[in-house]
Structure 1
Amino acid sequence: MKIRLFATVAAAAALFATTSVSAQTVFTVSSWLPPTHAASVAQKTWCDQVEKESAGRMKCNILPKGVVAAPGTFDAVRDGLADISYTVDGYTPGRFIFTQVAEFPFLGDSAVSTSVAYQRIYNKYFAPLGEHRGVKALAVFTHGPGIIFNAKKPVTSAAEAASLKFRIGGGNINELSKAMGWNTTLKAAPESFELLSTGVMDGTFFPDESITSFKLSMIKHATTFPGGLYNTSFVFMMNQDKYNKLSPQDKAVIDKLSGEHAARLFGEGWDRMDAASRDNQKAQGVQRVMADKAFVKAVMDKQDYLETTWAARAQVKGLKNPRDVLNEFRAEIKKVK
């Protein structure tokens, strides 16, 4: 009798263990940036929050390196090579139009304010139009204000910028560079060290954080702009089929931690890394100058062209009153605390 009872209890325990294991959802998570990068750290923090909020029903398996190079990340998540990752919308030129609203010059001095405001505008206008069709867009965000960095000389005018070769990350900064007549090449961020260390490029357009994250010790000069020369639009995403297969309870957890919550998480992480990198740059001997009124005006003179071009493209894609949306975005940035 005791043997039979023991066998029954053991079988029940084994069944429970099997059910518990099978009930757990494990997300394959990819990052094309170093694990110490602000975006990678924010992604891991989000994963930790998902595991905690779901009482362990969901967890992340963060891969040691990206499943593909940065430009292929959107398709990799869409096709299921990874369940979760993030990418720069501008790494695939012409594919995403609405997202460029977050990339214009002089938008703001904080990644938190631009990211949270961007998420609000995205939810209201862009998500219904399927800008990231094919994946589950968990959040959108931006990095901190864009800066001109180089290893050669101070850049205090548009003409001085035109005398150097720069790496850029795509999006509206690509359009601005063309309009300004600057010599720029579209390359993913992780390629920056090799491009600069070999002298193929003289500098790069980056937020502060990137000088530390990519160990760009050759950088000696930085030119900042009020509100940033540009921003970069990112999407944080999940494979749609993976999301669809979640239970209603687990979908509720993902939804709770997505949207504005995740946008703020990424923005706060970027602001912290920007601040830390500025301290490191002092030790590195980077000389910082603020663009003067003439330099700012030279950029502003191209602003209307950039906005008009974007508005026309966005309207063709179905966005009504793009100029009003841009103005609303700027107003929303000022509201975010």
Structure 2
Amino acid sequence: ASAVQMLITAGILEEIQAAIEAKADVKSKVSSNDTTAGYLNGKLIAGTGITLTENNDGADETLSVINDDKGSTAISTHEITYDHSGLHNQNTDTILQKIQNLVAPSQTVSAESVASVYSSFYDCQIFLADKTGTLDSVKLWLDRNTLNLGSYGDFEVTIRTLDGGGKPSSTILGTSTVAKADMPASGADAEVTFNFSGVNVVAGTSYAIVCRQEADAGDGTNSYGTYGDGSSPSYVNGSYGFSIDSGASWTLRADRDLYFIVTITGTQGQENIDIINNGEIKNNITVVAGKTIDGRDISADGSQLDVAYAHSQVTTGNPHSITLTDLSTYDHKDLQNLQGG
């Protein structure tokens, strides 16, 4: 009887092995009751190569799982693959990274004449704010063509939002004016500063510097000159533009930029800076007194030698004898000094 059982068992194993090698379905009874469609004991049964029979006839239910043959001796092999490539680690995490690696908005080449500003002829320069805060000033390189001040208007600069086409809109965030008498004369072009107050800007948002003569004064003879880079502009976050109809429409030109320097004071807590990028500390970190990491005070005051590890002078015996409560806070050189070495 024992030999017969062994032959039967061997025959069953051969059948199972043959089924696996042929990548056939192997079925096993999983329930003696009917099951709700797709569910077994309240759990969804699904997946590639998995089939749960559901005849709703009161008979046994079976689960079929397709096994791929992984070798001649394999009876059942299951493989689970994990893709770890997208996981964060200390070398890839970025904390408070700058938006688009923003740079201070400026272009400081002033060697070439760009255009004339008078009457309905306006100039503009598009720029990208590098901080969230208040725009304090704009510097431009300018001159006045003639000495006939009576025919001029003061030089006016406005900061504007952009329309849907990336051109100056009619929305003015702030205005600054320099009197015509204070403008550099022809042949003496120079940097002129326009100060602003209450102009709020957002990091990563583009704005326009718009130049005109106040009240659209002046004419082709009595005009202001703007200067910048008219041949190889290097500012990549904006471009120069002009209008011949008092700002009703604009033409942008990528082949030139005005000379300009925009100063923005960032609002505390709103600046976007790299603190940790690719596992490296990129900026100084100031810690408020009493703040801790894992219970250890890391502020400037707290980083001093802990009181618990301080050394004390022995009051009797050798005056150079010192008792250390914890040697781990001193290096070898410190110990030599403490021992009178």
What TM-score range do you get, normalising by the shorter chain?
A: under 0.3
TM-score, normalized by length of structure 2?
Answer: 0.22
TM-score, normalized by length of structure 1?
Answer: 0.22
Higher relative contact order (CA 8 A, sep 6+): 1
Higher strand share: 2
Higher helix share: 1
